[in-house]
Amino acid sequence: MRGITFLIAAWFCIGLDAGLSDAIQLGSYDVAPSFTIVLITFVCLWASHRSALLAALLTGIAIDLLTDVHTNSGSITVVLGPHALGLTLAAQMILTLRALIFRKANVITLALLTALAAMLLTLTVTATMSIRATLDPVIIFHRPLASLVPGLLSALYTGLLAIVLGFVLNTFRPLFAFRSPGTTFSTGGSATRRR
Amino acid sequence: MQRRWTNPRSLYLAALLLLAAAALIPTNPVTSALSTLHAPLVTIIAPVSQAGSYVSTHLRPAARTSGALPIVRDEDYAELERDYKAALRTINGLQHAIAALEERPYYGTEPALIKRNVQRISADTGKGTIKIRAGSRNDVTLATIASAHVPDIGLQLVGRVVSVNRLFSTIHVITHTDFSPNLIEGVVIPPDGIADESELAALPRCQLRPSGSTLTANDVAVTDAERIAPGHLVLLADDTWPDAAQMLVIGRVTRVKDTEQPLHKQITVVPTTDLNRLGSFILRIPTEESSPNGAGG
């Protein structure tokens, strides 16, 4: 995978998540899709294991460092780990599933895997933050269910976004210069054997 | 042995363990070191996120809130129409009162302030935080208060600055459940306003607790609650807040409700605009001559 292409795409997606999410969220509920998870799922479908895991890890760290966490003193801090851990686990799940189940990587595949990845990410982040808040009373995270439900709904919404974004990402796929040995994928019907 | 540790699977497991440790261990050095990257990362994504915010605030601008609409039966129409007309008169009176108050300060003297108009970089509605393009180089401090101008109402309190970097700052929105301080004292202004500062002490007060998109006071004395009605404006009058925030509009009373305790009532206050969808803000930055108090200072 061409690193610079991924970095630009990640920069764009993380920026859109930060700036555009409230415009496309459902009503006044905290249910909004994530462009970044679609990108990571796309990369995991096409890139080599090592590239995919590294991309997920670095993106997760970036999201962790950009996510505000409230403290008892009224200030904010960052917690490194929840998103990085969640995205890396999600990436590993997609890498496993792509070899076992799916023979055709089309936008529907992308949408389903994106929703699954986003759900796994939500579960991981909620679990991690709940444990952290128990161990570290400075961190405020006292309503796991209140973040889990919107998170799971957001995961489904992200799956829908993947249908639209999938076409865009497929168009730009040559720019990523993916080389995934031994994996068979196709887009729009024509199979491509990669060696 | 060396080969085993450079195996991708081993590296993957090691990375997972390291991340789990970083996520769970309080105040660990890894997090402390990497958290310094927060500001540069926000700056790096700012061009895209601010463009996104610009589109976002135009696609779904902050609408003025009017409270929840009740289910109406046919036989209630006449009564509701009467209430509606009374409410219109109340609103009209309040608007005049606010206009008068803005022209003639009645609550002490206006504190020494620097006022700045700033734009949003990004917003996280789940966390109740908004990043703005103004930082310490623009004189923003932790005593800074964020407000927004709402036509016919005045200055709506949005939140307080909880983090300042050189180029940007973070606002925590007052309605967010994790907002600190968790109790905000407000004074309920009657529809016809007040003549002078001495009347302020006699007005009903309430301790509001953020509850998502609204603020709720659960223990308003019945004697005070009788003087409060839907439509009344609530202004901040809390000594734990900086002077820059005093008398800013917290919101409008939308409901006065009985509680299980016969001597107390519950009131619900909704900000006069959707705070999470605002695109620009007026920062009220105390100068050295003013005295930032308590939580904000």
pLDDT digits (tens, 9 = 90+) for B242-271: 888 888 899 988 888 888 888 888 899 999
Answer whether B144's CB lies under 8 Å from B283's CB.
yes
Mean pLDDT taken over chain B? 79
- pLDDT higher than threshold 60 for residue B220: yes
Considering only A139-148, A175-184, B48-57, B250-259, which range has the smallest mean pLDDT?
Answer: A175-184
- Shortest CA gap A17–chain B (Å): 7
| Inter-chain touch B45–A72, beta carbons under 8 Å | no
Confirm or reject contact between B40 and chain A (CB < 8 A). Answer: no
Q: With bands split at pLDDT 50, 70 and 90, how would you rate the model's confidence at A189?
A: very low
If one compares B89 and A52, the residue with the highest pLDDT of the two is A52
Cα–Cα distance for residue pair A167/A156, rounded to 1 Å: 18
Taking a contact as any Cβ pair under 8 Å apart, which residues of chain A between 82 and 101 contact chain B? 82, 84-85, 88-89, 92
Compute φ and ψ for A131, nearest 5 degrees: -65, -45
- Shortest CA gap B143–chain A (Å): 12
A contacts of B44 (beta carbons < 8 Å): 11
| Inter-chain touch B22–A74, beta carbons under 8 Å | no
Nearest CA in chain B to A50: B8
CATH T-level fold of B77-286: Thrombin, subunit H (2.40.10)
Q: With bands split at pLDDT 50, 70 and 90, how would you rate the model's confidence at A181?
A: very low
- pLDDT higher than threshold 90 for residue A35: yes
| Inter-chain touch A85–B45, beta carbons under 8 Å | no
- Which pLDDT belongs to residue B65? 62
- Shortest CA gap A101–chain B (Å): 22
- pLDDT higher than threshold 60 for residue A187: no
- Shortest CA gap A98–chain B (Å): 18
Report which secondary-structure segment, H or E, holds B269: strand B264-270
How large is the average pLDDT for residues B203-230?
Answer: 86
How large is the average pLDDT for residues A170-195?
Answer: 59
- Which pLDDT belongs to residue B150? 84
Q: What letter would DSSP give residue B254?
A: E
Q: Which CATH number fits domain A3-20+29-178: 1.10.1760, 3.40.50, 1.20.1250, 1.10.3210?
A: 1.10.1760
| Inter-chain touch B129–A68, beta carbons under 8 Å | yes
| Inter-chain touch A70–B178, beta carbons under 8 Å | yes
Closest partner residue to B125 (CB to CB) among A25, A66, A85 is A25
User: Is the four-CA dihedral A97, A98, A104, A110 of positive or negative sign?
Assistant: positive
Which residue in A17, A22, A51 has the most chain B C-beta atoms within 10 A of its own C-beta, making it the best mutation to test that interface? A22
| Inter-chain touch B124–A15, beta carbons under 8 Å | no
In this structure, the number of other CB atoms found within 10 A of the CB of residue A13 comes to 22
A contacts of B133 (beta carbons < 8 Å): none
- Which pLDDT belongs to residue A103? 52
- Which pLDDT belongs to residue B97? 65
In chain B, where the domains are located:
7-59, 77-286
pLDDT digits (tens, 9 = 90+) for A52-106: 999 999 999 999 999 888 888 777 888 888 999 999 999 999 998 887 765 566 7
Confirm or reject contact between B51 and chain A (CB < 8 A). Answer: yes
- Which pLDDT belongs to residue B196? 67
Distances (CA, A) of A164 to A33, A38, A63, B28, B177: 12, 10, 23, 40, 34
Cα–Cα distance for residue pair A29/A104, rounded to 1 Å: 35
| Inter-chain touch A14–B34, beta carbons under 8 Å | no
Report which secondary-structure segment, H or E, holds B124: strand B113-124
A contacts of B172 (beta carbons < 8 Å): 70, 74, 76
Answer whether B253's CB lies under 8 Å from B232's CB.
yes
- Which pLDDT belongs to residue B149? 86
Q: What percent of chain B has pLDDT over 70?
A: 80
- Which pLDDT belongs to residue B100? 58
Q: With bands split at pLDDT 50, 70 and 90, how would you rate the model's confidence at A26?
A: confident
pLDDT digits (tens, 9 = 90+) for B176-205: 888 888 889 998 887 777 766 677 778 888
Answer whether B129's CB lies under 8 Å from A75's CB.
no
A contacts of B125 (beta carbons < 8 Å): 21-22, 25, 30, 32
Taking a contact as any Cβ pair under 8 Å apart, which residues of chain A between 149 and 178 contact chain B? 150
- pLDDT higher than threshold 80 for residue A133: yes
Taking a contact as any Cβ pair under 8 Å apart, which residues of chain A between 44 and 83 contact chain B? 49-50, 53, 57, 60-62, 65-70, 72-82
- pLDDT higher than threshold 80 for residue B92: no
How large is the average pLDDT for residues B62-72?
Answer: 57
Q: With bands split at pLDDT 50, 70 and 90, how would you rate the model's confidence at B90?
A: confident
| Inter-chain touch A68–B163, beta carbons under 8 Å | yes
pLDDT digits (tens, 9 = 90+) for B137-159: 888 888 899 998 887 778 899 99
| Inter-chain touch A76–B129, beta carbons under 8 Å | yes
Cα–Cα distance for residue pair B31/B174, rounded to 1 Å: 28
- pLDDT higher than threshold 60 for residue B106: no
Nearest CA in chain B to A11: B45
Compute φ and ψ for B101, nearest 5 degrees: -65, -35
How large is the average pLDDT for residues A33-62?
Answer: 92
- Which pLDDT belongs to residue B101? 61
Confirm or reject contact between A23 and chain B (CB < 8 A). Answer: yes
Q: What percent of chain A has pLDDT over 70?
A: 88
- Which pLDDT belongs to residue A105? 61
Which residue in B24, B37, B275, B293 has the most chain A C-beta atoms within 10 A of its own C-beta, making it the best mutation to test that interface? B24
- Shortest CA gap A111–chain B (Å): 23
- Which pLDDT belongs to residue A39? 95
- Which pLDDT belongs to residue B111? 64
Distances (CA, A) of A166 to A42, A100, B27, B236: 8, 21, 39, 48
In this structure, the number of other CB atoms found within 10 A of the CB of residue B294 comes to 12
